[in-house]
Chains A and B, each alone.
Chain A
Amino acid sequence: MAPAPLATLPALPLHTAGKYVAGAYIVLFALVLVYVSIMAIRMSRIERELGELLDVQAARERADEHTLDQREATPAYPVKGRP
């Protein structure tokens, strides 16, 4: 059945129209909320990955320092009295 033209329809009373208006605005709010939640999940993933990379970098720096210390402890030239 074809809908009646809008002009012939009476205005809905507030208690009836209110739920539709609330529904429409809640849809917009829900869309934004879902999007922000997804973005929050993505951001936390990036933060975690960045933390992992910082750990890798820190471990690499520690290893480099350790190697440097070992080199300093072992002289490159022969020391007197040592074979």
Chain B
Amino acid sequence: MERSTPTASRPLAYGRGLRALSIATVIAVTLALALVFFYAPLEEEQGFLQKIFYVHVPLATIALCGFVLGGLLAIQYLRTRDARWDMRSYVVIHMSLIFALGTLVTGSIWAKGSWGHWWVWSEPTLVSFLIIFLLYATYQPLRFAIEDPERQARYASVFAITAGAFVPLNYLAVNETTAYLHPRVFSSTSNLPASMAFTLLVSLVAMALLFATLCKYELTAKHARAQVRALRRRLAGEAPSTGARSRSAAPALHHVGSAPAAGRSGA
């Protein structure tokens, strides 16, 4: 029997570049925190409380971009039927949901400091973000409800595309609504003083790097687990795709080998 080369048996190395990405993230987050607390000036109206802006806005931006990215990756899955695109879409949406939770909590803290209320139902930005969060909170139960991996991936992709299209539409709709002022420090980021704009930009980059690193960790862990399972089946003398799969919301990667070569790009 011919022994397959390592690259052929392991089609995708999710862990590639993880170390460099992690180091870049640590440096960027440290720099962002230093800029927030030692460089950016105190805002005139809100004072020290405005420092929440540098964590809340990047969290929200990255979470919303992540939801849209999840939809784009789902389109790629439907085009190629390569399980790895479904896995990427799943991980990106999963991570965006965590970031969205962080946005809601930090926003709530900011609202309490600014307005004296933890939550204001008449504020369209808050409520619309909560709607998006709750919409994506149904993504995992939807996946879990479907046992067949192929159907699960297909239905989840359709959900991700539909919900991903809803996110920018919702953002535009809320921007048109100006019944109340969201605790925006400035009406638009173009009004920011240069020092604040630079700090916000670095915070955004740091948050994006953190998002990318956590996604890559998750993908690497899931891929490693799938490989261990495949190895277990091989040692047990089973066919690669016949192993019993317990019901899970996470995509199945055991049919990776049957995926088209076109999808074999880096994570």
**A47, chain B: closest CB distance, angstroms:** 9
Task: Give the dominant DSSP class at B's interface.
Answer: helix
**B205, chain A: closest CB distance, angstroms:** 15
Q: Does A17 interact with chain B (Cβ within 8 Å)?
A: yes
Inter-chain contacts of A24 with B (CB < 8 A): 51-52, 55-56, 105-106, 109-110
Of A4, A11, A39, most B-chain CB atoms within 10 Å: A11
Please, what's the 1-or-0 string for A28-40, where 1 marks a CB less than 8 Å from any CB in chain B? 1001100100010
Inter-chain contacts of B181 with A (CB < 8 A): 5-7
CA of A78 to CA of B183 in the docked complex: distance in angstroms?
A: 95
* Given contacts A3-B115, A27-B109, A53-B235, A17 and B49 within 8 Å (CB-CB): yes
Give chain B interface residues in 22-56, CB to chain A under 8 Å.
Answer: 43-49, 51-52, 55-56
Number of interface residues, chain A, beta carbon within 8 A? 36
CA of A30 to CA of B98 in the docked complex: distance in angstroms?
A: 11
Contact B228 A49 (CB under 8 A): yes
CA of A12 to CA of B112 in the docked complex: distance in angstroms?
A: 11
Query: Could you say which of A13, A17, A18, A28 contacts B106, with CB atoms under 8 Å apart?
Result: A28
Contact B225 A27 (CB under 8 A): no
**B56, chain A: closest CB distance, angstroms:** 7
Give chain A interface residues in 1-27, CB to chain B under 8 Å.
Answer: 2-7, 9-14, 16-18, 20-21, 23-25, 27
Contact B45 A6 (CB under 8 A): yes
Contact B45 A39 (CB under 8 A): no
Of all chain B residues, the one with the shortest Cβ separation from A7 is: B45
Inter-chain contacts of A28 with B (CB < 8 A): 55, 59, 102, 106
Q: Does A63 interact with chain B (Cβ within 8 Å)?
A: no
Q: Does A68 interact with chain B (Cβ within 8 Å)?
A: no
Of all chain A residues, the one with the shortest Cβ separation from B117 is: A3
Q: Does B145 interact with chain A (Cβ within 8 Å)?
A: no
Contact B98 A20 (CB under 8 A): no
Contact B47 A13 (CB under 8 A): yes
Contact A46 B221 (CB under 8 A): yes
Query: Could you say which of B46, B55, B225 contacts A12, with CB atoms under 8 Å apart?
Result: B46
Query: Could you say which of B44, B48, B102, B218 contacts A17, with CB atoms under 8 Å apart?
Result: B48
Q: Does B210 interact with chain A (Cβ within 8 Å)?
A: yes
Query: Could you say which of B114, B122, B225 contacts A6, with CB atoms under 8 Å apart?
Result: B114
CA of A9 to CA of B49 in the docked complex: distance in angstroms?
A: 12
Q: Does B232 interact with chain A (Cβ within 8 Å)?
A: yes
**A44, chain B: closest CB distance, angstroms:** 11
Q: Please provide the 9 A-B residue pairs with the shortest distance between their CB atoms, ordered closest to farther.
A: A11-B47, A20-B113, A17-B49, A3-B115, A17-B48, A24-B106, A24-B52, A21-B51, A27-B105
Residue numbers of B with Cβ under 8 A of A are: 43-49, 51-52, 55-56, 59, 98, 101-102, 105-106, 109-110, 112-117, 120, 122-123, 180-181, 183-184, 210, 214, 217-218, 221, 224-225, 228, 231-232, 235
Given A2-B122, A6-B46, A39-B218, 4 other A-B residues pairs in contact with their CB atoms under 8 A: A20-B52, A21-B51, A35-B214, A50-B228
